[in-house]
Amino acid sequence: MPLKEYVRKRNFAKTPEPAAKTRPAGGFRFVVQKHKASHLHYDLRLEHLGVLKSWAIPKGISTNPADKHLAIMVEDHPFDYRNFEGSYPRAIMARAA
């Protein structure tokens, strides 16, 4: 299951994140999300086989193509995550740090 790691890292009773569902493959969308988990950063997500392949970009995104920024591959995310906006409860973030 491509979302096994996503499910392992979350408690859906305590966070508002979307459930782990895939969708039929066929699209090629991408999303860049700015959010604060343990710290403020950007995530790049590319749709592939019904899930979003995801990379964290801790230093942000530059408009200069010559700039090099680290992108760290993280767990796949469900397709519905592309529209997700929310925050994590403080207790959860304290345990993650």
Model confidence over 10-54: pLDDT tens digits?
A: 777 877 777 777 777 677 888 888 877 777 888 999 998 888 999
Q: Is the pTM of this model over 0.75?
A: no
Amino acid at the residue 80:
D
Spell out the long-range contacts of 69-76 with Cβ–Cβ below 8 A and sequence spacing 24 or more. Answer: 71/44, 74/43, 75/3, 75/5, 75/6, 75/9, 76/2, 76/3, 76/5, 76/6, 76/51, 76/52
Mean pLDDT (the chain, rounded): 79
CB-CB contact of 50 with 22 (8 Å) = yes
6 class by beta-carbon count within 10 Å (0-12 exposed, 13-18 middle, 19+ buried):
buried
How does residue 86 score in pLDDT terms, banded at 50, 70 and 90?
A: low
Question: What is the rounded average pLDDT of the residues 50-69?
Answer: 88
